């Protein structure tokens, strides 16, 4: 796999060594067990896979190259390049400004741009309409396009399904940048509708079977369907594609549910032998799959608590938290500044609020902690969290005491 030029301050020499050793010993990625850092009174279990994925490293490399190649020019990002506050703040410190927030709200009007300006497309991609708008202003949307290749893979798969006459069901958060971009591409080629979760998939199923009248569809799925969508016509043949950072098991469950329902209601194939439901298993992102599988395996380990590090608006990070919190106390934090001996500042992803919890650190020893991070979180931040934990646990050994194991 390609090696990217990512600024060294995002790296951790220890974590890089751990990942390299695990990769060398497990080239086929069959071992998802965590890595134990035995620090005496503190035991940290690192997930097998975590941190920057291929798409994030690709985006960071392009963004910093853009800065280097355009001295003196105004440089803009359509929105946050990835969902990590430290990375976005560092880009802003290099003079890059955001045109929109993560929900598409205007921060700097497009009318303020000129043909001499540079615009970077974020890793989530963007809509066809925005690309066309930039092009009409003389600004290339392709020169510094950091769209994740695995997001583009979903777009391409959607286009292939559309060519075969399938409508597209997009499993994603409707307001998320990636979902908006994917919906824009899908709607160009096929009747498309967004479902946020299984509950919405069930409601969609009720329209398929006629349990809900077609006249209510536009009200129930307002803002989530393509122009000209007709329930009776466009829900007979379908395939599911997804926002790549969703829970892979959720996407598959939605696809399995709709497949069974469509085939039961209309028949597995039509009179010409065409399948009612297209196989779309290949749109699931490898990094999302690996990180989630690694967390599931890590959860087989007895521990006192779990810590997940990442930006609060990171979809893939919130799903790692979701997996962990079913089994043990879990804290979703921004970084080392979130924790001290008396309290921890963490995020409630369900209710979208930051909380402070006192007396969070168990006093028994040895203390065992599961640790992972989202795909947009720098490894350096994870190492800083480990260093902070060591300082909070009496008699915990230094990280340097385990470095030799991974050299």
**Burial class of 165 by CB neighbour count within 10 A (0 to 12, 13 to 18, 19+):** exposed
Dist. CA 294–CA 301, nearest whole Å? 12
Which residue of the set 131, 177, 178, 383 is catalytic?
178
Cβ atoms of 321 and 308 within 8 Å: the answer is yes
Q: What are phi and psi of 43, to 5 degrees?
A: -120, 120
Cβ-based neighbour number of residue 5 at 10 Å: 11
User: Which residues are CB-contacts of 151 (< 8 A; sequence separation ≥ 6)?
Assistant: 55, 123, 124, 125, 178, 181, 182, 244
For residue 182, say if its preceding peptide bond is cis, omega within 30 degrees of 0.
no
**Burial class of 249 by CB neighbour count within 10 A (0 to 12, 13 to 18, 19+):** middle
User: Which residues are CB-contacts of 109 (< 8 A; sequence separation ≥ 6)?
Assistant: none
* 178 labelled catalytic: yes
Dist. CA 4–CA 179, nearest whole Å? 26
Q: What are phi and psi of 377, to 5 degrees?
A: -100, 125
Give the residue numbers annotated as catalytic, written as ranges.
Answer: 178
């Amino acid at each position: 796999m390609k090696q990217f030029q990512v600024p060294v301050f995002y790296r951790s020499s220890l974590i890089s060594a751990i990942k390299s050793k695990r990769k060398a010993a497990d080239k086929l990625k069959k071992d998802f067990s965590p890595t134990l850092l035995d620090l005496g009174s503190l035991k940290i279990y690192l997930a097998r896979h975590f941190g920057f994925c291929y798409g994030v490293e690709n985006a960071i490399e392009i963004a910093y190259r853009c800065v280097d190649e355009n001295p003196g020019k105004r440089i803009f990002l359509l929105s946050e390049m990835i969902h990590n506050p430290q990375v976005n703040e560092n880009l802003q410190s290099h003079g890059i400004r955001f045109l929109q927030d993560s929900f598409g709200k205007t921060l700097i009007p497009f009318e303020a741009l000129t043909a001499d300006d540079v615009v970077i497309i974020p890793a989530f991609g963007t809509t066809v309409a925005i690309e066309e708008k930039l092009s009409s202003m003389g600004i290339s949307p392709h020169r510094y396009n950091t769209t994740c290749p695995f997001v583009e893979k979903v777009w391409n798969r959607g286009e292939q399904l559309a060519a075969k006459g399938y409508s597209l069901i997009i499993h994603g958060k409707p307001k998320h940048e990636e979902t908006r971009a994917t919906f824009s591409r899908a709607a160009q080629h096929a009747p498309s509708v967004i479902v946020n979760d299984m509950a919405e998939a069930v409601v969609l199923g009720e329209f398929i079977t006629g349990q809900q009248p077609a006249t209510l569809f536009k009200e129930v799925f307002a803002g989530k369907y393509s122009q000209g969508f007709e329930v009776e016509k466009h829900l007979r043949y379908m395939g599911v594609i997804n926002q790549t950072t969703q829970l892979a098991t959720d996407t598959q469950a939605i696809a399995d549910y709709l497949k069974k329902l469509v085939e039961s209601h209309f028949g597995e194939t039509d009179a010409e032998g065409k399948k009612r439901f297209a196989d779309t298993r290949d749109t699931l992102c490898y990094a999302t799959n690996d990180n989630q599988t690694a967390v599931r395996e890590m959860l087989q380990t007895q521990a006192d608590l779990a810590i997940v590090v990442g930006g609060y608006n990171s979809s893939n990070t919130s799903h790692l938290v979701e997996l962990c919190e079913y089994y043990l106390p879990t804290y979703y934090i921004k970084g080392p500044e979130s924790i001290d001996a008396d309290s921890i500042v963490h995020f409630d992803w369900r209710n979208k609020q930051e909380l402070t919890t006192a007396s969070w650190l168990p006093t028994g020893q040895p203390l065992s902690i599961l640790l992972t991070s989202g795909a947009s979180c720098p490894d350096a931040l994870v190492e800083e969290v480990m260093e902070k934990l060591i300082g909070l646990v009496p008699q915990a050994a230094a990280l340097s005491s385990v470095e030799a194991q991974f050299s």
